[in-house]
């Protein structure tokens, strides 16, 4: 067994890997792009390396950005005008396959572009492949002009086909697990919440009530994330 189920509140996602391995991660977005997936991957990479694993990340290039981390392989990319600072990697230009040597496992974070490239390499080289299903991709179709129900249904079928070809699916929550099971995906699923480095929060001793002059009985609602349509903030406020 490669991955074990996490306990709620786990801080180190690398604990799920039993033996020291060479891990290749494929992601369509990474630092400096700000988002949950890049943060999750970076947290895992640091934790895995502390455990003695070697982690290689294949991700898009961002003009003017230089990596301070090791083993980051940037793939040529194009900017998407409907999504600020989001870039589309061009897997066929990266000569990725030449860099996949002595890899024990491939971990993809999207079912298309670099994720699809990772799956193709995994099958060709007979390497186990894990897919973390981070989000509901059909909720992002508003970034594609004229996207309608046809594309939405195609997206669900595409994701199901991709999941079927993977050896294991990681779901970050019980909700995602049940959704995938409802869609009749037979691949084994494990729930592993994204790890959080609590050190940075322990150093902060801000008192929100004092800062915003709130009474001690006032209810406080906190949202941390991007202000975008797919986050459904109107529902949250309601």
Q: How do residues 83-116 score in pLDDT, each as one tens digit?
A: 677 899 999 887 899 999 999 999 999 999 999 9
Q: What pTM does this model have? A: 0.78
User: What is the pLDDT of the chain when averaged over all its residues?
Assistant: 84
Please tell me the distance from the alpha carbon of residue 138 to that of residue 197, in angstroms, as a whole number: 30
* Alpha helices in the chain, H assignment, sequence order: 36-50, 114-125, 149-165, 174-182, 199-202, 208-211, 233-237
Neighbours of 145 (CB within 10 A): 7
Characterise 146 by phi-psi region: left (phi > 0), alpha (psi -120 to 50), beta (else): left
Please tell me the distance from the alpha carbon of residue 108 to that of residue 235, in angstroms, as a whole number: 31
Strand partners, 170: 132, 190
Q: How do residues 4-60 score in pLDDT, each as one tens digit?
A: 334 444 445 445 555 789 999 999 999 999 888 999 999 999 999 999 999 999 999
pLDDT at 4: 38
pLDDT at 96: 94
pLDDT at 137: 63
pLDDT for 131 beyond 80: yes
pLDDT for 222 beyond 60: yes
Tokens 């009474």, located at residue: 215
pLDDT at 140: 54
pLDDT for 67 beyond 90: yes
pLDDT at 231: 78
Tokens 């989000």, located at residue: 135
pLDDT at 206: 61
pLDDT at 90: 94
pLDDT for 228 beyond 50: yes
pLDDT at 142: 53
pLDDT at 104: 96
Question: For 183-199, b where at least 16 C-beta lie within 10 A, e where not — what string?
Answer: eebeeebbbbbbbbeee
Q: How do residues 140-151 score in pLDDT, each as one tens digit?
A: 555 555 555 667
pLDDT for 210 beyond 50: yes
pLDDT at 55: 97
Q: How do residues 195-206 score in pLDDT, each as one tens digit?
A: 887 777 766 556
Please tell me the distance from the alpha carbon of residue 135 to that of residue 137, in angstroms, as a whole number: 6
Mean pLDDT of 122-138: 89
C-alpha 167: how far from its chain's center? 17
């Amino acid at each position: 067994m490669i991955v074990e189920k996490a306990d709620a509140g786990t801080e180190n996602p690398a604990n799920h890997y039993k033996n020291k391995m060479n891990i290749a991660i494929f992601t369509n977005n990474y630092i400096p792009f700000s988002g949950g997936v890049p943060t999750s991957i970076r947290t895992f990479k640091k934790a895995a390396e502390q455990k003695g694993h070697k982690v290689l990340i294949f991700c898009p290039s961002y003009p003017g950005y230089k990596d301070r981390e090791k083993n980051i392989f940037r793939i040529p990319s194009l900017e998407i005008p409907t999504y600020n600072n989001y870039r589309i990697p061009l897997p066929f230009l990266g000569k990725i396959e030449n860099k996949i040597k002595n890899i024990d496992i491939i971990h993809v974070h999207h079912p298309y572009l670099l994720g699809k490239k990772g799956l193709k390499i995994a099958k060709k080289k007979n390497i186990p492949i894990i897919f973390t299903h981070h989000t509901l991709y059909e909720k992002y179709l508003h970034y594609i002009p004229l996207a309608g129900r046809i594309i939405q249904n195609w997206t669900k079928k595409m994701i199901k086909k991709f999941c079927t070809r993977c050896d294991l699916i990681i779901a970050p929550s019980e909700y995602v697990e049940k959704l995938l099971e409802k869609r009749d995906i037979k691949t084994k699923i494990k729930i592993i919440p994204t790890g959080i480095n609590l050190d940075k929060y322990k150093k902060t001793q801000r008192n929100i009530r004092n800062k915003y002059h709130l009474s001690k009985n006032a209810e406080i609602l906190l949202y941390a994330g991007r202000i975008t349509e797919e986050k459904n903030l109107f529902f949250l406020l309601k």
